[in-house]
Amino acid sequence: MTRFGSRWFPIAPGVLFLLASGAGCSSTSSPGSGAGGSGAGGSSATGSGGTASGLGGRTGTGGAPGDAGSYTRVAVCGSRGQATATATTYDGYEERFMIDQEGLGVDICVVRWDLKRVGAAPAPCTDCTWTHMVEYSNPRVMTDTGGVCANSELHLDAAAISAVAGTRVSIGFASMLGGAHGSARMKYFETTHMWDVFGNATWDTSNNSFRYDYRDGFCNY
């Protein structure tokens, strides 16, 4: 186990920076938890030139709260993405996803937004190889089995999905963070004015391919 900030990360081949605080906890906590929190995404955080989106945590903006007691099944929710990234460019997408059978099954909800650089991050990241402020746009639903995107703790109805477009967040890449055997996607939290780990990541310098994955825990549907 390796500790970064207030969180512990198990390091194993092929399983890098799986966040212990997210796995195994079902919650409808709102986005905006600070760095080192439960993995909520930060929709209340404001970045230079825009508002940070809450894709990394529970996404409830615009969605009906629903009756938690009506949910009978458990999935795993998170965010993932890929891009072509350099020190000065970032062009890719991010997906909010839900995997059934407590994360052992298949995707039952996938919503995708384009994610592109719009400027410099508001603060330096000493651990980062590069950083960018990026903006979400062009939302589309890739998978929605039985309307589960909206009818779950994700509450990703049409209004919530549309509301993410135009929001901004500052992210970065840290290689072998703290001497660990894996690399991380970093995120800047305006509420704490700090950078923190926000998922495992890889960056291939031969073709500038960047990929990341963040699982924020169990969610009900």
DSSP letter for 29, please.
P
Predicted structure pTM score: 0.72
- Residue 50 in tokens: 């825009």
Q: Which of 70, 53, 95 is nearest to 220 (CA)?
A: 70
Number of Cβ within a 10 Å radius of residue 124: 12
Q: What is the mean pLDDT of residues 7-34?
A: 36
Task: Report which listed range, 122-126, 175-179, 210-214, is most confident.
Answer: 210-214
- Mean confidence (pLDDT) of the chain: 77
Is pLDDT of 163 > 60?
Answer: yes
What distance separates the 2 farthest-apart alpha carbons in the chain?
49
Tens of pLDDT, residue by residue over 206-215, are: 999 999 999 9
Query: In terms of pLDDT, which residue wins out, 97 or 39?
Result: 97
Side chain identity, residue 220: N
Note the Cα 168 to chain centre separation in Å.
13
Burial of 165 (0-12, 13-18, 19+ CB in 10 A): middle
